[in-house]
Structures are given as C-alpha cells and as structure tokens.
C-alpha cells in the first residue's frame, strides 16, 4: 500500500505544495481576460477570470478535471460511518461562544470556494492553498486583488429547495460581522470594506487599501453561506445557542439527535452538487453517526462491542496494549497506521500570559523544564511519540541553529524590536530529560535557578514566594472527558512543579465547565493548541498577533508581541515565495523564543481502528486521510460480519 512519506525533520513540503511556488502553468492556461463587474463588454488586460483561486495563480487541476486524483470515482454509495465523541453538547450552532456545539454541526453548510470536506477533511487533499469553485461557478479579480466578483451557480440550492443567491452571501457576511466571534469579526471588518449584490447570482467584495492581498479572496470565498430567509423568518441569531438548524446547501443534512447521546447526519439525495467534478468519489456514506460518551474509557469499551465502528485513536497506551480483544483476533477489527505528511499540530501546556506570575519569560522557561517528555513517553506513552518543538516542524520553514543569511538580515533590519540574544542563540528546542526518573535533576536545578533569578524564593515551608510574600500558584483545569493517559501526563507535570515549591493544582472538571473556562480564559495553564503553518495569511494575526490578544479564542495564551506582529506583516507583504519563507522561518524562531507554551508530543502516524466494513483507495494524499470524505462502505463485508455474529 502506497503511503505519503512519514514526517521527517528535513522534509521539504514545497514540491508538494504547488500553490506556493511559481513555475506551474496549469491554472494560467485555464484563466482568461474578463470584463469588469456587471458584465461589461470592455476587456481589461489586468482582469483574471477563473474557475479556482490560489495566491500565486498556479493550480493542480485544469478547468475540465473529472475528479480529484486520489479518490475512487466508482466508490459505492451507502452504509453508515459511525464514531464517538466524549463529553456533552447542548447546541447545534457552532458559531456562538455560548453553548457546547454538537460535533460536525458546521457540516451542512457550504461556501463559495471549496475549502474542505463537510467533516473537516482538506479538499483538494493533495494541494495546499488551492480553492476550487463550489457555490460559485467562476470568480474574477484584477491582478492587484483590490476586489473580487463571484458568479454563483444558479442551480445551487439549500436543502429546503430555495436557491442560494448573492443576497444570502452578503447577508451571511454581515451576520458574521455583527454577531460572529469578536476576534474574527474585527479582523474581517478591517480588511473587507464592502460586500455588494450585483445581481441575483453575482456578488462583489472590495478590500481595504494599503494592506496585504493575502487571505482576502480566500477569506470571503471560504465563509459558510446561510439562508437569509430562514434567519429572518425565525428571528434567529448567530451568537445564540440553538438546536434548530438553518437549511444548508451541502451534501449532508442533520437527520436526528438526542442531546448528549448521539447525532446523525444523512446524505441529501436532492443535493444540487452531485455532478460537480470535485464531488465525484466523495461523500459516499449514507449516514454519519456520532455517539457521545461520558469519557474515553467508556467510549473504548463501546467500540469493542461494535456500538460504533470507526475510532481514531489518540491514546498511545490503548494503541500499544489494549487492542487485544476478540474482534481484533478474529479479523473483524482492522488496525491501520497512516503516516502524516503535515507538520504536527502545536499542542502544549499553554500559559495564560495575563497572569502576573507567568509574565516573566524566566518563569515560563523554568516551568517548561518541569515537563519530562522522555519519561512520560517511555512510562505512559509506550515510546510511540516524538517531541514537538517547532510551529512548522519537519518543513523547510522550521527555524534551526542561529539565524544566518536572509533570515539574519531580516531580523537585524527590525532594530530594537529584536532581543540581542535572539540573534546569537540557536532556535529554541527544549532540553532532553532523563527517561529513568520523573524528576530530571539537571533540568530541575536549572529551573530552580531561573525561578530564583526571577524573584521567586523557596521559604522554610518549601513554598516559593515573591517579594510581596505571595506564593506562586498554578491552576490547571482539564476535562473529565479526556483520556486517563492525558490526565496522568498532566498530573506528573504538576508533581514536578510542586517539587519546585510551586502550588500546582490540577482541577478535573466536567466538559461544560471546562469549555466555559476555556472560552473565558479562566486558567493559569491549560492543554490547548495553536496552528502549524505552511504558508502565510491574515489568520496568523488572529492566532499569534496582538490585534485581538485579550479576547481571541484562537490565541489561548493571549500572546501580544510587536516583534511577532511585524514579522507576520513582512510575510504578508512578501513579493516572492523565497521572501515569504524567510519571514516564516523567522516567525517560527520568535514564537519559540517567546516560551508561551510548553511544547508536548506528536505521533508521526495517524492511528485508526475500525470494524472491517470500510475501504479506501490505495494511495493517500499528503494533507488528509479522508476517512469521512472519500472512504466508502463495504456492504458485502457487513453482511459477512453479521452472519458470523460479529455485529
């Protein structure tokens, strides 16, 4: 079976990421000079009309492509895909801060451009930064990218049979500005100055002057489109939790649900887009079912009995020793490891930088030294994990060694924004610890020295205090729905903090409370994630920038660094891929220097266990395993398993 190459530190993604390099001419051959807004006959040499978009104009698929290269266009349709979720849900509105939305509640909606499968898979999964027309049939924009016009497909329909129109697009855009997440709305408002209905199936967006053209066309093209009529008839709001859903235009509809028990989505037989080339060989399951369980242990037991049939395993202990039940021995359950070709997600123990005791970087470095990856990996994770340290790990955007060449020149050009030691020290990689004992003496001594230098002294009672006599206290909430292995890793980390004289308190709370505290940033530290990057975009400002650092749900540390802001801006204004890559390497270096999270682990492989009724093509694209996107159901094998008494 052919797989993508496993992630390696020297992996260069650029040959794979055709959207990020010059030289490809496929898309340019499909682009034509077009008239201006409203169908004017005059031709302008700087106007581009196309069936898809990428920033540099190069695309992997021609206008007449029959299907994505990695799918099976003859895959059978039918059957059910079922998986689990841990915790609870009380809403089917994923766009509100309030409530806990059901899994995949965003899946019924589509956008102007194809940005991924309804259940989160990338599309196309073999190219990065390419967006093919979905609700639109074409788009046009000047070479300056000052504006964009989308021409909608007249055949596009919501699931209630009403057409998707330009009015719906503009209504949705304004709804997100008025009632969407504040950090998102503010970012879009600063960049998109107007959205205008030209006619029933034509919409135009104009962009602010003097800003990067990055993440503008794809931003407005990737926003989900809602039914204006439904929202107005039902007096619905985007910022309120609700269980009733507005009609979507996607291949699946919400079928039924039982709060905190299960959710089912059903394939829409009247879906308007079944004949589109990008939908061939995809969306093959008749139903998608999500079963909810109180915690991961209960979910695993249910999988063993066939209560749900597909499990993405995230618990290394279970993967190593727990798949020895009869269904595996009899060949009823398949285990599969799929190498992951993308950079690891930057998960970590995230510091709340608004907390006074965590604002000194020496304190954060000392706390980082308390995490013993090597011991945890050996004792709790069966040696299956690798250490994460970079935000673009394993790619040519990963910073390494001391800055040199173009990266050094860029940093030096920023003057006093750059700390002097950033120019002379190697890119930060957490030091190794001993795998033989939880407390690595060398790292603990170093941590204690850093805390003492920062003014936190251990008293006779063993408690570390500052000059004002305040004890250093760290509250770390985590959800009861998590795995036992994850909880053990958190508690072992907190044990090391206590050994350093820190009042480290783990708070095991139910999923609803956990979600609320996470959104309100009511924690000192928390297990959370940022994003890995292979390209630049204005989303980097939302994740790592200062503009919404005080309240952004996408920036759980509250990181606000003028240096980070400036480097993101430089990457956005880069005129060549080489200049962009230099800026992103510098960004990786600076983010690691900031020490705003304790980098944890990652698996080079995705671990799947499933009852032997699911099939997939031999070759996997590098961006996604596509389980719910382009796998399919084997009805004959299901009949055999039932005859054998397996299900």
For 92-113, what is each residue's pLDDT tens digit? 999 998 899 999 999 999 999 9
Predicted pLDDT at 17 = 30
The mean-pLDDT minimum among 65-69, 118-122, 398-402 falls in 118-122
pLDDT band with cut points at 50, 70 and 90 for residue 52: very high
Residue 562 has pLDDT above 60, yes or no: yes
Residue 300 has pLDDT above 70, yes or no: yes
Kindly report, residue by residue over 567-585, the tens digit of the pLDDT: 999 999 998 889 999 999 9
* Helix, strand, coil fractions of the chain, as percent rounded to 5: 30, 20, 50
Predicted pLDDT at 44 = 52
Residues 371-389 have a mean pLDDT of: 96
| The two structure tokens encoding residue 153 | 């497909």
Residue 41 has pLDDT above 60, yes or no: no
Please calculate the CA angle 38-219-212 and round it to the nearest 5 degrees. Answer: 90
Predicted pLDDT at 634 = 98
Residues 392-419 have a mean pLDDT of: 97
Predicted pLDDT at 22 = 28
DSSP string, 207-251: E-TTS--TTTHHHHHTSB---HHHHHHTT--TTS--S--PPP-SS
Predicted pLDDT at 575 = 87
Q: How many CB atoms lie within 10 A of CB 26?
A: 15
Kindly report, residue by residue over 180-203, the tens digit of the pLDDT: 988 889 889 999 999 999 999 999
Residue 538 has pLDDT above 90, yes or no: no
User: Which candidate, 439, 324, 317, places its Cα nearest to that of 378?
Assistant: 317
Q: Which residue has the higher pLDDT, 418 or 97?
A: 418
Helices 405-412, 577-594: inter-axial angle, 10-degree rounding: 70
pTM of the model: 0.81
Kindly report, residue by residue over 123-170, the tens digit of the pLDDT: 999 998 899 999 999 999 999 999 999 999 999 999 999 999 999 999
Handedness of CA 240, 246, 250, 253 (dihedral sign): positive
Separation between Cα atoms, residue 24 and residue 446, nearest integer Å = 51
Burial string for 177-202 (b: 16+ CB within 10 Å, else e) reads: eeebbebbbbbbeebbeebebeeebb
Helices 577-594, 562-573: inter-axial angle, 10-degree rounding: 170
Residue 122 has pLDDT above 80, yes or no: yes
Q: Which residue has the higher pLDDT, 471 or 10?
A: 471
Please identify which residue in the block is written with the tokens 């010059």: 22
Residues making up the chain, counted from first to last: 647
Residues 475-489 have a mean pLDDT of: 93
Predicted pLDDT at 269 = 96
**Mean residue pLDDT across the chain:** 91
Q: Which domains does the chain possess?
A: 18-69+96-242 (3.40.190.10), 262-342+604-643 (3.40.190.10), 347-602 (3.10.105.10)
Kindly report, residue by residue over 315-332, the tens digit of the pLDDT: 999 999 999 999 999 999
């Amino acid at each position: 079976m052919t797989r993508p190459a496993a992630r390696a530190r020297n992996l260069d993604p650029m040959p794979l990421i055709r959207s990020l390099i010059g030289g490809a001419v496929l898309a340019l051959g499909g682009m034509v000079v077009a008239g201006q807004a409203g169908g004017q006959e005059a031709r302008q040499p700087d106007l581009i009309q196309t069936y898809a978009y990428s920033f540099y104009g190069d695309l992997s698929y021609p206008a007449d492509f029959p299907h994505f290269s990695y799918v099976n266009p003859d895959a059978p349709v039918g059957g059910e895909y079922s998986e689990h979720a841990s915790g609870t849900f009380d809403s089917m509105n994923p766009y509100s801060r309030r409530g806990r939305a059901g899994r995949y509640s965003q899946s019924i909606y589509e956008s102007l451009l194809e940005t991924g499968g309804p259940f989160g898979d990338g599309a196309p999964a073999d190219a990065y930064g390419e967006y093919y027309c979905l609700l639109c049939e074409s788009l046009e924009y000047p070479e300056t990218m000052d504006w964009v016009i989308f021409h909608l497909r007249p055949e596009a329909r919501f699931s209630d049979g009403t057409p998707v129109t330009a009015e719906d697009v503009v209504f949705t855009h304004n709804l997100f500005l008025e009632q969407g997440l504040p950090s998102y709305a503010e970012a879009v408002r600063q960049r998109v100055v107007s959205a205008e209905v030209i006619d029933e199936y034509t919409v135009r967006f104009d962009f602010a002057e003097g800003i990067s053209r990055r993440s503008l066309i794809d931003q407005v093209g990737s926003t989900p489109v809602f039914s204006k009529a439904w929202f107005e008839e039902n007096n619905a709001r985007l910022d309120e939790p609700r269980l009733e859903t507005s009609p979507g235009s996607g291949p699946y509809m919400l079928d039924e649900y039982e709060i905190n028990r299960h959710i089912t989505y059903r394939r829409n037989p009247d879906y308007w887009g079944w004949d589109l080339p990008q939908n061939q060989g995809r969306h093959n399951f008749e139903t998608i079912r999500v079963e909810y369980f109180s915690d991961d242990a209960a979910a695993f037991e249910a999988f063993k009995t066939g209560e749900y049939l597909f499990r993405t395993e995230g618990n290394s202990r279970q993967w190593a020793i727990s798949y020895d039940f009869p269904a595996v021995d009899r060949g009823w359950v398949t285990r599969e490891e799929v190498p992951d070709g993308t950079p690891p997600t930057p998960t970590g123990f995230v510091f709340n930088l608004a907390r006074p005791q965590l604002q000194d970087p020496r304190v954060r470095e000392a706390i980082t030294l308390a995490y013993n990856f090597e011991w945890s990996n050996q004792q709790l994770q069966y040696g299956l994990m690798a250490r994460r340290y970079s935000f673009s790990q394993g790619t040519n955007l990963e910073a390494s060694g001391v800055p040199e060449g173009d990266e050094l020149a860029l940093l030096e050009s920023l003057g006093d924004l750059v700390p002097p030691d950033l120019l002379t020290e190697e890119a930060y990689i957490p030091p190794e610890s001993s795998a033989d004992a939880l407390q690595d003496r060398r790292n603990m001594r170093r941590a204690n020295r850093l805390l003492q230098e920062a003014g936190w002294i251990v008293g006779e009672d063993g408690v570390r205090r500052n000059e004002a006599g305040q004890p250093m206290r760290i509250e770390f909430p985590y959800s009861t729905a998590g795995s036992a292995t994850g909880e053990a890793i958190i508690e072992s980390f907190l044990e090391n903090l206590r050994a350093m004289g820190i009042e480290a308190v783990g708070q095991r709370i139910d999923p609803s409370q956990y979600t609320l505290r996470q959104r309100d940033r009511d924690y000192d530290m928390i297990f959370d994630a940022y994003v890995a990057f292979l390209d630049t975009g204005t989303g980097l400002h939302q994740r790592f920038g200062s503009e919404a650092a005080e309240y952004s749900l996408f920036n759980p540390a509250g990181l606000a660094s003028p240096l980070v802001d400036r480097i993101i801006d430089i990457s956005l204004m880069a005129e060549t891929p080489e200049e962009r890559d230099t800026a992103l390497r510098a960004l990786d270096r600076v983010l690691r220097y900031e020490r705003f999270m304790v980098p944890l682990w990652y698996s080079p492989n995705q671990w799947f266990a499933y009852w032997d009724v699911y099939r997939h093509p031999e070759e996997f694209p590098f961006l996604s395993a596509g389980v719910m996107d382009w796998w399919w159901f084997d009805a004959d094998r299901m009949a055999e398993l039932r005859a054998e008494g397996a299900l």
